[in-house]
Chain A
Amino acid sequence: MDLRFTPEELAFRDEVRGFIRANLPEGTRNKLVEGRPLDKDDTVFWQRTLNKEGWAVYNWPVEWGGTGWSPVKQYLFQDELQQAPAPLPLGFGVTMVGPVLIAFGSEEQKRRYLPPIANLDEWWCQGFSEPGAGSDLASLRTSARRERDRYIVNGQKIWTSLAQYADWMFCLVRTDPQAKKQEGISFLLIDMKSPGITRRPIVTIDGGRDVNEVFFDDVEVPAENLVGEENKGWDYAKFLLGNERTGIARVGTSKERLRRIRELASLTSANGRPFIEDERFREKLAALEVELKALEMTQLRVVAAERSRRDNKPDPASSILKIKGSEIQQATSELLLEVVGPYAMPFEPEGWNEPPVGPEWAATIAPAYFNWRKISIYGGTNEIQKNIIAKAILGL
């Protein structure tokens, strides 16, 4: 056991840090620090910058443009991006559909779709959840009927993040209504420009518009857009959902938030002194730092264990990281809310062009706190994650 990073790993981390410092646009960084939404262009520009360096699809095999980095290096890369803070390469393409195509797609599909994913020339969204199929994803009903060389898709997806920007959707559809529910599902690639697709934004409690409903009305999808085998889609979905083992806890993001808390708590005064000097507040902050350090070490243990893994099966330990990571991120948003105090109140709706009401950093704090409740819901709720741990790790 050697719990330290090797000199090579440390040098790598410095290299990544230096690259981000030299290349990340100030405006993008500021938006992330201040909790303002990124424009599509911010994300695209940054991913292309990474792609030029050969880093956008850091987790892919070398033959498809990946880096060949060890799991530890991949982790360090994500951690540095999160801490900067910089956008991560768009997950829907890079960590979700990309690896599925690499593992199960045809040669043509790989050649057609992978390069534009790497360069974010095409934006992907994830069409899994439906109104009646959330935690019980396998009960999904959006249907794809085979007609000669194409599928006809009908139904509805919901909660589709960033579908407003998407060129493509990877979508779970029911191709065999007769089969047991997990066995009649297929994995389709759908062009979002296809006739018959309607997207409708859902406004979330913070006033944001990043999730959508997507309706399919006799949408024609070429049969060649099927990934792998028909009715094997559930296996690919499971592969996809368990694939993200590193970075899922967003330790770097929480580190960055703690830095922000310290900064803002120094700028805020309470009883005539900087709020950061408040004993109780400092203790809570310190306690959260302890939790985060523990999570970081747990995360590193999982990452290090990757080295000796031979299979590609999902690791139930990622559920532990997801739960703890979500709790810590949510706790950082609560501490920020506490820092801002009465000036959490003003609501500056989308398109607000007036000068800020309170301190200029205050307006985004309450919305972020509201919005971050989603972290324990999306990607499998914390209750579902605990079910997984109970079954897969504890054998209960």
Chain B
Amino acid sequence: MDFDLDEEQRLLKESLDRLLSERYAFENRKAYQQSPEGWSREMWAHYAELGLLGLSFAERFGGSEKGAVETMIVMEGFGRALALEPYFATVILGAGFLRYGGSEEQCAALLPQIAAGKLTLAFAHTERDSRYDLAHISTRAVREGEGWVIDGEKGVVLHGDSADRFVVTARTGGGERDREGIGVFLVGAESPGVGRRGYPTQDGLKAAEVTFNRVRVGPEAVLGEPGEALSLVERVVDEAIAALAAEAVGAMAAMHELTLDYLKTRRQFGREIGSFQVLQHRAVDMLMALEQARSMAMYATMMAGEEDGAARSAAVSQAKVQIGRSGRFIAHQAIQLHGGIGMTMEYRVGHYFKRVTMIDSAFGDADHHLKRLARENATRAAA
């Protein structure tokens, strides 16, 4: 076991950190956010140049065949920078479906375009009542000739407003919450029958409500096995949660640093507020929460590629619980220790607070995963 980065990983981290510190200052970010898409095409091109957009793709698909540790490094960097680009939607989620569920032809057609920065994806999955249940899908896909016809409504599709294509989950059979009868399809955003309504999210990103009204797709749009694709969804989502954990750690580390700096510079009662012992202890509690979260993000990274679905999901749920709790504690304390200034839009810390809050509610909040782990315990005890 080795927790140190190897030479190449260190280089990756350094070049990303350099890029972000040069081009992702708070003011830059604000400008990117105000552009029509809400993120920077220029940064996207830089990510492509650095090889980030094909990080874990096979070389023959224009990728650099890196593993989960590299993804963790990149996501942590994005967490610190509060990056707005659709990396998570496109490279982690969208391309994840291709990597795990795409045919050789599908991968050859799309992954190189993603790696080159020419194609963005979004995962159209959540529905109005599905909350965090991955099998809760009422969007339908009905066979018609060689292809399929998709009907339904998807909500809070991250970066769905600007994506070129959607990865859509739909029901090919079974009832609303059955584990069987789920299919995954690739749908062009401009296909006839696709409608979308974009909007900003609380944390400054973009999302969309997407409707599919008798949308026809051919057999080449099918990812995985129609009717049997839930395990594909679970696999990709588990990997996505590991990536989110790393992003959250980046945000938490940044909040902790900002707070520490503030404790050392803000003066009240004729001294630095960091000289008050109660605030020192609070900063220590924040550090402990951060380190616990970092450890669990690493654990999720380590387990993300695990073939045994039950072991992988359990690890990822444990990480999500820790990330959710640490994130909330650190954010609350970061705001509190800044006093009024922490409450303002002009200051960075509040934006991290909003991002970790939204990460908690992505793919199941801390309590959702805690309940899942609790059920797991009961099953284990019975066995």
Chain A positions near chain B (C-beta within 8 angstroms): 129, 132, 134-136, 139, 158-159, 202-205, 207, 211, 268-272, 275, 278, 280-281, 334, 337-338, 341-349, 357-359, 366-367, 369-371, 373-374, 376-378, 381-383, 386
Q: Which residues of B contact A367 (CB under 8 A)?
A: 202
| Complex Cα spacing A344 to B365, Å | 12
Q: B350 at the A/B interface (Cβ < 8 Å)?
A: yes
Q: B345 at the A/B interface (Cβ < 8 Å)?
A: yes
23 residue pairs of the A-B complex, CB under 8 angstroms, read: A129-B340, A134-B340, A136-B270, A139-B270, A202-B344, A202-B346, A203-B346, A205-B353, A270-B132, A280-B371, A334-B328, A341-B131, A343-B156, A344-B202, A344-B358, A345-B202, A346-B156, A346-B199, A348-B199, A349-B200, A370-B353, A373-B335, A377-B340
Q: Which residues of B contact A374 (CB under 8 A)?
A: 343
Most buried by A among B197, B351, B354: B354
| Complex Cα spacing A140 to B379, Å | 62
Most buried by A among B278, B335, B343: B343
Q: B85 at the A/B interface (Cβ < 8 Å)?
A: no
Q: Are B279 and A383 in contact (CB under 8 A)?
A: yes
Q: Are B370 and A280 in contact (CB under 8 A)?
A: yes
| Count, chain B residues at interface, CB 8 A | 49
Residue in contact with B345 in the complex, picked from A134, A207, A269, A357, CB distance below 8 Å: A207
Q: B35 at the A/B interface (Cβ < 8 Å)?
A: no
Q: Are A345 and B343 in contact (CB under 8 A)?
A: no
Query: Which residues between 107 and 132 of chain B lie within 8 Å of chain A, taking CB atoms?
Result: 126, 128-129, 131-132
| Complex Cα spacing A261 to B277, Å | 37
Which of chain B's residues has its CB closest to A205's CB?
Answer: B350
Distance in angstroms from B367 CB to nearest chain A CB is: 6
| Complex Cα spacing A344 to B199, Å | 13
Q: Are A347 and B269 in contact (CB under 8 A)?
A: no
| Complex Cα spacing A132 to B335, Å | 18
Chain B positions near chain A (C-beta within 8 angstroms): 126, 128-129, 131-133, 136, 155-156, 176-177, 197, 199-203, 207, 209, 267-270, 276, 278-279, 328, 332, 335-336, 339-340, 342-346, 350-351, 353-354, 357-358, 361-362, 365, 367, 370-371
Q: Are A280 and B367 in contact (CB under 8 A)?
A: yes
Q: Which residues of A contact B371 (CB under 8 A)?
A: 278, 280
Instruction: Given A338-B367, A346-B207, A373-B335, check contact A205 B155 (CB 8 Å).
Output: no
Which of chain B's residues has its CB closest to A209's CB?
Answer: B345
Residue in contact with B209 in the complex, picked from A344, A357, A371, A383, CB distance below 8 Å: A357
Q: Are A343 and B367 in contact (CB under 8 A)?
A: no
Q: Are B199 and A204 in contact (CB under 8 A)?
A: no
* Interface of chain B, main secondary structure: mixed
Q: Are B156 and A347 in contact (CB under 8 A)?
A: no
Instruction: Given A135-B339, A280-B370, A373-B335, check contact A347 B199 (CB 8 Å).
Output: yes
Q: Are B343 and A373 in contact (CB under 8 A)?
A: yes
Q: Are A270 and B131 in contact (CB under 8 A)?
A: yes
| Complex Cα spacing A270 to B372, Å | 13
Q: Are B126 and A342 in contact (CB under 8 A)?
A: yes
Among all A-B residue pairs, the 10 with the closest Cβ atoms: A205-B350, A136-B268, A203-B345, A347-B200, A136-B269, A345-B201, A347-B202, A366-B202, A270-B131, A373-B335
Instruction: Given A134-B268, A135-B268, A349-B200, check contact A377 B343 (CB 8 Å).
Output: yes
Distance in angstroms from A384 CB to nearest chain B CB is: 10
| Complex Cα spacing A370 to B202, Å | 10
Most buried by B among A367, A376, A383: A383
Q: Are B269 and A272 in contact (CB under 8 A)?
A: no
| Complex Cα spacing A366 to B361, Å | 11
Distance in angstroms from B241 CB to nearest chain A CB is: 14
Residue in contact with B133 in the complex, picked from A211, A271, A338, A345, CB distance below 8 Å: A271
Q: Which residues of B contact A268 (CB under 8 A)?
A: 131
Distance in angstroms from B154 CB to nearest chain A CB is: 11
Q: Are A386 and B278 in contact (CB under 8 A)?
A: yes
Residue in contact with A342 in the complex, picked from B131, B199, B267, CB distance below 8 Å: B131
Distance in angstroms from A301 CB to nearest chain B CB is: 27
Distance in angstroms from B56 CB to nearest chain A CB is: 26
| Complex Cα spacing A32 to B32, Å | 35
Distance in angstroms from B200 CB to nearest chain A CB is: 5
Q: Are A270 and B201 in contact (CB under 8 A)?
A: no
Q: Which residues of A contact B279 (CB under 8 A)?
A: 383
| Complex Cα spacing A374 to B156, Å | 28
Q: Are B177 and A272 in contact (CB under 8 A)?
A: yes
Q: Which residues of B contact A278 (CB under 8 A)?
A: 371
Which of chain A's residues has its CB closest to B365's CB?
Answer: A338
Residue in contact with B361 in the complex, picked from A207, A271, A345, A377, CB distance below 8 Å: A345
Q: Which residues of B contact A272 (CB under 8 A)?
A: 136, 176-177
Q: Which residues of A contact B201 (CB under 8 A)?
A: 345-347
Q: Which residues of A contact B358 (CB under 8 A)?
A: 344-345
| Complex Cα spacing A346 to B203, Å | 9
Q: Are B345 and A342 in contact (CB under 8 A)?
A: no
Q: Are B278 and A269 in contact (CB under 8 A)?
A: no
Q: Which residues of A contact B207 (CB under 8 A)?
A: 345-346
Q: Are A205 and B344 in contact (CB under 8 A)?
A: yes
Distance in angstroms from A273 CB to nearest chain B CB is: 11
| Complex Cα spacing A162 to B282, Å | 32
Distance in angstroms from B104 CB to nearest chain A CB is: 34
Q: Which residues of A contact B129 (CB under 8 A)?
A: 269
Q: Which residues of A contact B350 (CB under 8 A)?
A: 205, 370
Which of chain B's residues has its CB closest to A374's CB?
Answer: B343
Instruction: Given A204-B344, A342-B126, A343-B155, check contact A271 B177 (CB 8 Å).
Output: yes
| Complex Cα spacing A347 to B38, Å | 13
| Complex Cα spacing A385 to B367, Å | 31
Residue in contact with B336 in the complex, picked from A205, A371, A376, CB distance below 8 Å: A376
Distance in angstroms from A365 CB to nearest chain B CB is: 10
Which of chain A's residues has its CB closest to B126's CB?
Answer: A342
Which of chain B's residues has its CB closest to A371's CB?
Answer: B343
| Complex Cα spacing A366 to B350, Å | 13
Q: Which residues of A contact B132 (CB under 8 A)?
A: 270, 341-342
Which of chain A's residues has its CB closest to B129's CB?
Answer: A269
Instruction: Given A204-B344, A345-B156, check contact A337 B357 (CB 8 Å).
Output: yes
